[in-house]
Amino acid sequence: MGFLSGLGRVLFAFFFLFSAWQEFNAFGVDGGPIAKVYGTKVDFLKDRVTSYLGVEVPAVEIKHVVAAGIALKGIGGILFILGSSVGAYLLLLHLVIITPVLHDFANYSNPEFLRVFTQDLALFGTLLFFLGMKTQSI
C-alpha cells in the first residue's frame, strides 16, 4: 500500500509540478504569456469587486501573481509528494485562488472553460480526500 500511495502522490503532483515548470521557463521579465491571461482576468475581477463593493482594489504586479502561483504549485507539489499536509494546503490555496478567477466558465461560452473548471473541482476534491485520510486514525 505504501508504494501505491507514493506513486499516486507523484503522479498527482506531477500535474502541478509540470505546470509550474512550464510557467517558470516562460516567465521572462514580464511574467510570460500566462501574465497576459492573468492580467485580463485580474482586471475583470478588480472591476467587479469595485462595482459591487465600492472598494478600490489596490494595483498588483501581474508578474508577482504569476510568481506566487509558480511557488504555490512548485513547493506544494514537492511537499505533497513527501506526504505533507502542508503541500496539500498550498495546492488547495492555489486552486481556491485560480479556479474562480481563471476558469470562470459562467462568463464565457467556450466549453473549454467548463471542462477546466470541473477538472479543478476534481483536483480540489482529491486534495480534500487526501487531507481527510491524513487526519483519519485507523
Question: Mean pLDDT, 10 residues at a time, over the chain (138 residues)?
Answer: 87 95 89 84 84 86 90 97 95 91 72 83 94 76
pLDDT at 89: 97
CA-CA distance, 2 to 38, in Å (whole number)?
A: 39
pLDDT at 7: 94
Contact 16, 77 (CB under 8 A): yes
- b/e per residue, 7-18, with b = 16+ CB within 10 A? eebeebbeebbe
